[in-house]
Structure 1
Amino acid sequence: MSFQRLQNGHVRDSLGGKIDEYLDHRELPMYKDKPYNYSASSKTKPIYKRWRTIAGIALATVTLLYWLGSSNSTDSKPHAKPNKSGSWGWSNKKLGIDWNSRREEVKETFVYSWNGYEQYAWGFDQYRPLSKDGAQMNEQGKGLGWIIVDALDTMMIMNLTSQLSHAREWISTSLNYDQDYEVNTFETTIRMMGGLLSAHYLSNSFTDLANVKDDDKGAPGEDLYLEKATDLADRLMGAFDSPSGVPFASVNLQTSLGKGSHVDDGASSTAEASSLQLEFKYLAYLTGEKNYWEKAERVMEVIDDNGRQDGLLPIFIYPTTGTFMGENIRLGSRGDSYYEYLIKQYLQTEAEEPLYENMWSESLAGIRKHLITYSNTSHLTVLAERPSNLEGAISPKMDHLVCFMPGTIALATTGGVTVNEAKAAGKWNEQQESELRLARELTKTCYGMYKVMATGLAPEIAHFALSEPPHMESDGILESAELTDDPEAEWRKDYEIHHQDNHNLQRPETIETLFYMYRITGDEMYREWGWEIFQNFLKYSKADDNAGYTSLAHANEIPPIEKDNMESFWLAETLKYFYLLFSPPDFLPLTSVVFNTEAHIFPRFKLARGLQTGWERTPRDAQGVMQKAFKKSKTLIVQKPLQHETAPSSLPDEQKAGEGHVGLSG
């Protein structure tokens, strides 16, 4: 499709310039890969080739035999037979879909994006594909590897050896974290430290993935990724040196001095403080250094000892006191990954820390009690917000960031095995059935965020028309309407997309959920939804001249107005989850790995090397209220407060407002 290219600052009547000025000053929610063939298992010649020379066969017979041959070819596995545990039994309702070919298209899109960055902005932390230039996060220093390190494991799983070799060379010769510069503690941990640890894991455990000789055992650079991750972690540790143990929002890489946020009265975002644990725990497991584990886990104890009702937390917490600021409760920006990391900490240590599963279950029950409601006409399931407190008015607002949640619910419901496996093992009950149904309905709502837009690409935020008073899930589950293609369909009226919220920043959360939903349920519908969304990215966000893909300032009009930025999480998360969605289900199985909130891949492991859960929960009553009479006797270890001052964030304007995944990306 050809249309006049519109971008910020270059639009008739200065519309783009006005939008760009608005976005730059508005606080946006943020968030937040050698040959390796899992699928080829048969060399059987397709049936249709055996019959090609037989004359007189009817066209219908030829078509049928062709389909039968495709189902037995090495390039498609939608009809895979059950494995040894009798698990898969997938079925492909749409005949002849070659998911391997579609996966290759995702790889080609990654290469196109990477080549643009490599050509026009190599070594820079930010990339503008329309301007064809880049910028550093630290204007006085060298690049910190935001895009390069974030994309390492995607290149590995995609078997992109030459691209990986170039990235690894830059890390070896140019990446130096000894810079007098303040970074966001959370973003740096999940993207940079997480990216390095994931690269270390994959390069050591999957030697057929994009094999680079310098990674080989005994090679001089064998431990490059781990060494860089450890150096970075040691610099980040100063963020935890607060009076409460809750990390400061930012930290100076050279001095390791933690700094309170320059906004929000110095409070840290709850999600940011509680989404460092997977990374520091895995590093502790690799190195045997308990300090990483203990500092990160201490945060969870301080948070939980606040005894918040029904496991639902306000979105700000003070590092100085370990207590919450305000009563704004949501699973969007600044709240989201706290809940994600509860269940993932439980899975990371192979279910050996059951208190995290307990915390997850409590929070999910609280979400269903207080936040799950339905749109007025079509009864779409909405995960809403409580801006004042749990007894206050409900806000019918869903950040796109919330769309991580249905996939996480599905993962928690089975622990990573398929529904068929869980049922065969006798580990399925009405509660799990109910939670999976919720996951399905929320996924549908998130898919609708794409379908309702002119470009088919979701807005940053959606609002919903609710009944008055709102119908909550506790009032009874409602059946949702079908999301038909009819442009006048009633379901579309339940979505209220505000003009200032219709930008698309290449976010991964819905694709992440589609990946989990397909892996858990085996339902091909989720792949088909993902393919539809992927095609819309190709159609509306591709930059010219092999420059990559860009965010959109306005995604609800055609042609869209482009925003000149390619997020690092486009490479690290969005394209990675597309690739995994279209991959065979036994590629990086969910029973073996856990993904951090930036889609970096860590192994599951058993507690070892003296690592253990270092705290116990204070008992709660049936209503989830903490029983202070039973509160364990302990003295809060108050460290001598470091001289910390508010300081400007190291993130772009768009990232300052949110919890991980804007601006810098991810």
Structure 2
Amino acid sequence: MTVLIRRFVVLCISATVLLIGFRQLAQQDDLPPPHSTSSSQINHPVIWKDVPLRYPVSSMIPLPSGAPSPIPKIQHEFGVETENNKAKRKERLETVKKTFLHSWEGYKKHAWLQDEVTPVSGGYKNGFGRRGATLVDTLDTLSIMGLDKEFNLALSALNKIDFSTTEEPTLNVFETTIRYLGGLLSAYDLNEGRHRILLDKAVELGDMLYIAFDTPNRLPITRWDWANGALEGEQEAPSQALSAEIGSLSLEFTRLSQLTGDPKYFDAVQRISNQFEKHQNSTSIPEQYRKLYEGAIEAAKKHLFFRPMNPQNQDILISGTVRKNAADFIKLQPEGQHLACFAGGMVGIGSKIFERPDELDIARKLVDGCIWAYDSMPTGIMPESFVAVPCPDPKDCTYSTEKWHEAVINDRSIRSTLDVARIIREDGLVPGFTEISDRRFLLRPEAIESVFILYRITGDTSLQDSAWRMFQSIQNSTQTPIANSAIADVTCPPEREPEKLDECESFWMAETLKYFYLVFSEPDVVSLDDWVFNTEAHPLRRPQSS
């Protein structure tokens, strides 16, 4: 009788598992397929390599050959950690992984092969052409976390995505490159070239993006009518473009040339770098990037980075905004942005590879400035943007409530009739902040990105503790039964739950949780001496010098 009961129990469990599996498959089958086109004239895949070039290059810029130039060591020499520290680190690591799996399962159930899951309503959004943005963006995170079963599931789904067309009539070349092309190439590199489909899809997409460069000056159309490109219509690059957008294409296109041996991708982006330096003397490529960086960092130190007055009298820095008028007068706007928190990590890496050791201290102060912005808010989360009080003299920046109140009043257009206590109360201001210009948190990665980089450079475990505080605060305010959601107001008091915006961009799993995971990983997991991260946190393998 006991044997029969056991068999019955096993049968019931098996049936339950099968039923759940069938239900999940049925839910996924209810979702629209990931291939659609915005053009009534194109209803089939486009073979982009066969599209005739309007403005072919007369001489291809070759991919640099020979041994790569040596790059100074970036990462700290980590010693043996204590058993207690190791246990704490691994516990935090597993917690981050569980949070990732929670969001990943929500995406699989509610938005499989769509661009993004809506984490409150349990639906999906397709703002990137319905080409599985979250799936492609997250491939390398799955590999890094050792989630082989989930990675193979996502890999098999790639066959259903057509990267030669899109549902969006205007393709954002920057976002498509960093999320899709970067995601495919990173997963290929991390898996040591074992999955050919990743490179094949990267080439399919790279050939599409290459036609966006088919303009009279060979500079890309950043918001591109891809169907017009496929149908051989006239094309011209815009008269203006964000330098960060077109400059950020270099990694992915260069790596695609390295992996395929086809120089056309490198040629396309090297022409952008040459334009950046067109008024300077011709130099070799490594020296070109050094020269561009050194000019930019000197200007940033002089005009952009500022020390904010704060109640703790911390010696920290914020990367602000600079405006220049017609008379060439430069004025600092003491506005901090979450997006600008990448600066600390950038300056840190620059200080190592360009051998500028004094700037590592600046990098740390920039990172500490973003940590301060997190710690200052009632939710423990930094807002999208805020205004602080810059110190007139960075060497004498003692905080006073009177100076803060004066700055709060001066930031308002009508001053005489204002009650400062009322402004602070109604605007939800905390000491040191004169305005919270955008109270949202959009699950952004830039702050933890720089915390991770500075930890790997310095080995300072206090940065891991800061990362943990940030992670716990984000988790407490953003988790839903489905995934994690952007929130409307980081100044929400502790007794109230922040309003959730029903948004979960693909960078939450591709970037934010990846960096949180890596800051608690062993230091040799995606070492900064072997890998370089693109704008979307996709690590690409660095060619090593002999």
In the superposition, the TM-score normalised over structure 1's length comes to 0.60
Match runs of 1:489-508 below 5 Å: 493-498=431-436, 500-508=437-445
- 2:212 and 2:226 in contact (8 A); partners too: no
Q: Deviations over 1:608-654 (max 9, x none)?
A: 9xxxxxxxxxxxxxxxxxxxxxxxxxxxxxxxxxxxxxxxxxxxxxx
Is 2:339 the partner of 1:401? Answer: yes
* Letter paired with 1:599: A
Is 2:139 the partner of 1:152? Answer: yes
- 1:235 and 1:254 in contact (8 A); partners too: no
Distance 1:291 1:176 in 2: 19
Report the equivalent of 1:548: 483
- 1:245 and 1:298 in contact (8 A); partners too: yes
Distance 2:84 2:235 in 1: 54
- 1:554 and 1:560 in contact (8 A); partners too: yes
Report the equivalent of 1:268: 241
Structure 2 residue runs without a partner (length 5+) = 1-74, 400-423
Q: Deviations over 1:147-194 (max 9, x none)?
A: 110000000000112211221111113444334633100000010000
Deviation at 1:585, TM superposition (A): 1.0
Match 2:199 to one of 219, 226, 250: 226
Is 2:108 the partner of 1:118? Answer: yes
Structure 1 residue runs without a partner (length 5+) = 1-84, 206-214, 216-221, 308-345, 417-426, 482-487, 609-666
Q: What's the secondary structure of 1:272's corresponding residue?
A: helix
Q: Deviations over 1:23-78 (max 9, x none)?
A: xxxxxxxxxxxxxxxxxxxxxxxxxxxxxxxxxxxxxxxxxxxxxxxxxxxxxxxx
Distance 2:501 2:76 in 1: 48
Report the equivalent of 2:373: 449
Q: What's the secondary structure of 2:295's corresponding residue?
A: helix
Deviation at 1:561, TM superposition (A): 1.2
Deviation at 1:408, TM superposition (A): 1.4
Match runs of 1:81-480 below 5 Å: 87-89=77-79, 98-137=88-127, 143-179=130-166, 181-204=169-192, 215=194, 222-256=195-229, 267-305=240-278, 353-376=286-309, 378=313, 380-388=316-324, 391-415=329-353, 431-432=356-357, 434-467=358-391, 470-471=392-393, 477=395
Bigger drift between 236-245 and 146-155 goes to 236-245
Q: What's the secondary structure of 2:487's corresponding residue?
A: strand
Deviation at 1:255, TM superposition (A): 4.9
Flag the 1:479–1:516 CA change in 2: closer, same or farther, 3 A: farther
Distance 2:81 2:156 in 1: 43
Q: What's the secondary structure of 1:563's corresponding residue?
A: coil
- In the comparison of the two structures, how many residue pairs are matched? 431
Is 2:529 the partner of 1:594? Answer: no
Distance 1:513 1:86 in 2: 15
Report the equivalent of 1:569: 507
Distance 2:83 2:299 in 1: 37
Distance 1:283 1:86 in 2: 30
Distance 1:198 1:225 in 2: 9
- 2:163 and 2:205 in contact (8 A); partners too: no
- 2:318 and 2:370 in contact (8 A); partners too: no
Distance 1:537 1:91 in 2: 27
Q: What's the secondary structure of 2:331's corresponding residue?
A: coil
Distance 2:398 2:254 in 1: 41
Flag the 1:190–1:374 CA change in 2: closer, same or farther, 3 A: same
Distance 1:136 1:437 in 2: 42
Instruction: Specify which structure has the higher proportion of helix.
Output: 2
Q: Deviations over 1:90-133 (max 9, x none)?
A: 76798675211211111111110010011011111122110100
Distance 1:120 1:556 in 2: 30
Q: Percent identity?
A: 31
Deviation at 1:229, TM superposition (A): 0.7
Distance 2:545 2:80 in 1: 34
Distance 1:578 1:109 in 2: 11
- 1:250 and 1:260 in contact (8 A); partners too: no
* Letter paired with 1:168: L
Match 2:520 to one of 578, 582, 590: 582
Deviation at 1:274, TM superposition (A): 0.9
Deviation at 1:276, TM superposition (A): 0.2
Distance 1:90 1:448 in 2: 30
* Letter paired with 2:275: V
Deviation at 1:223, TM superposition (A): 1.0
Deviation at 1:479, TM superposition (A): 7.1
Q: Deviations over 1:397-430 (max 9, x none)?
A: 12111111111111122239xxxxxxxxxx7xxx
Match runs of 1:53-64 below 5 Å: none
Distance 2:138 2:320 in 1: 32
- 1:463 and 1:497 in contact (8 A); partners too: yes
Flag the 1:590–1:249 CA change in 2: closer, same or farther, 3 A: same
* Letter paired with 2:202: A
Indicate the RMSD between aligned Cα atoms, in angstroms.
Answer: 3.0
Distance 2:191 2:226 in 1: 27
Report the equivalent of 1:534: 471
Q: Deviations over 1:206-253 (max 9, x none)?
A: xxxxxxxxx4xxxxxx31011111111111112212333332112244
Q: What's the secondary structure of 2:359's corresponding residue?
A: helix
Distance 1:454 1:287 in 2: 50
- 2:76 and 2:457 in contact (8 A); partners too: no
- 1:373 and 1:384 in contact (8 A); partners too: yes
- 2:531 and 2:542 in contact (8 A); partners too: yes
